[in-house]
Structure 1
């Protein structure tokens, strides 16, 4: 299964698009306060990128990890296929984790299609760890003990001709 670890925001990806949508086209400033966001826009955008070394060390010391993907530029769509063999694909259940508000704001203000959002941004998932299904609860508990949120966000499947390497299923509530 795929365990997604929550991100702290945009991390270091998608800033060219975010800047265009929010500051250039949207005419907002770093001091702008949007009703949907708890902090000024500049603070939301500059929330530090989470470093996952502590989480990876804790998980790999106790569990058999089959793969780890840091969700950077290219989002889930481009980063996940880098860690699994050609005969595999990932099925992501969109409704399994909360999408941070900044991504909803970007999509609405910029008129950005949902698939593009998942290709450019991390959408609230900064790290994905692949484990056997029977280890999912242990992985999530280990992450929780470290103060992190982990979610079962999907599963690995056999690649089928004509299917994308990362298939998104369900709604994320932000259509």
Structure 2
């Protein structure tokens, strides 16, 4: 008997079945500009050149990290794709870009069509929330490299912005600017190696443990998808002059806020103004974690930080409240080289 590809652990038929399952999920993400269909060698997107005087493409790529381990343990895969979209789209929004399209890459030890379809369902839902079309992707079955029940997930987003409207904090943020913030939905998709060490090694908890303080089990809390900020940020950039934006990801407030600041300016943050979710205070308590370590690892309740002139901050806050978006005023830009000063 001759060997087949399937004998090595790769099932081509399962791949064909996956494509059948995900086609309707992908179709729901399509928007103006998509001119290709699933099954080609590449995705095609036509730019509306009349909409922009000097169009600039903006790209971002990211993965989900070890948050995937939580999905594996719970065997729940329909939200993790939304995290992947969020991590890419939120980054390009920081430049003032409108998301256009997204591509994903899934590699796994054993291709189970239904599981892959669940992952892509999350990606598609994230694309709908992010306003971008899912125009391509790849699923790779890699026995021997991954365990059968494991996979990795990465994504790539492209957006567009007029060159004269690019948001560049290093050029535009000034002393005296107000610092506003949009809340996170929870831990998002960063720091999960630390989260897992605290929960599993320090406390010996399992993901099904119900936590009274948060009103749910740990698995449900930790799998909350990363919030996607397309609606509030695109609305803000169309109505107001936004001087700079930071997406608070790995490295927390200490690392990400200075990425938008010019030299010689510091963000003076009053953390008492942040509505920090209970999960963060619990992680700090359970792991006996220093305050600075928390703020340099997790978002601590802040998903996006942005900078505006002091004289328009109230109008900006009113606009966000009117579209039912929560916003905190958390500080002011001052002279200094510290990058971030957190006042507790």
> Per-residue CA shift, 1:108-128, capped at 9, x if unaligned?
000100011000000000000
Whether 1:3 and 2:180 are equivalent positions in the alignment is yes
1:149 to 326, 332, 344: 326
* CA apart distance, 1:145: 2.6
208, 220, 242: which one aligns with 1:43: 220
Deviation of 1:105 (Å) = 0.3
Distance 1:53 1:24 in 2: 37
Post-superposition CA distance 1:80-108 (Å, at most 9, x none): 11101111110000111221000000000
CA radius of gyration, larger in: 2
User: How far apart are the structure 2 equivalents of 1:115 and 1:96?
Assistant: 17
Q: Where does residue 125 of structure 1 map in the other structure?
A: 302
Q: Deviation per CA, 1:112-159: give whole Å up to 9, x if none.
A: 000110000000000001001122122222222332210100010111
Alpha-carbon distance in 1 for matches of 2:260, 2:208: 39
Aligned residue number for residue 100 of structure 1:
277
Q: Tell me which stretches of 4 or more aligned residues in structure 1 moved more than 3 Å.
A: none
- Normalising by structure 1, we get a TM-score of 0.92
Q: Which runs of 5+ in 2 are unaligned?
A: 1-177
Alpha-carbon distance, 1:23 to partner: 1.9
Question: What TM-score, normalized to structure 2?
Answer: 0.48
Q: State which drifts further: 19-28 or 71-80.
A: 19-28
The answer (yes or no) to whether the contact 2:261–2:339 under 8 Å persists in 1 is no
| Residue in structure 2 matched with residue 165 of structure 1 by the alignment | 339
Partner residue, 1:111 = 288
| Residue 48 (structure 1) shift | 0.5
2:259 paired residue among 75, 79, 82: 82
For structure 1, the residue ranges without an aligned partner over 5 or more in a row are none
User: 1:46-79, CA deviations, whole angstroms, 9 ceiling, x for partnerless residues?
Assistant: 1000011111100000011000000000111100
In angstroms, what is the RMSD of aligned CA positions? 1.0
State the distance in 2 between where 1:142 and 1:29 align. Answer: 42
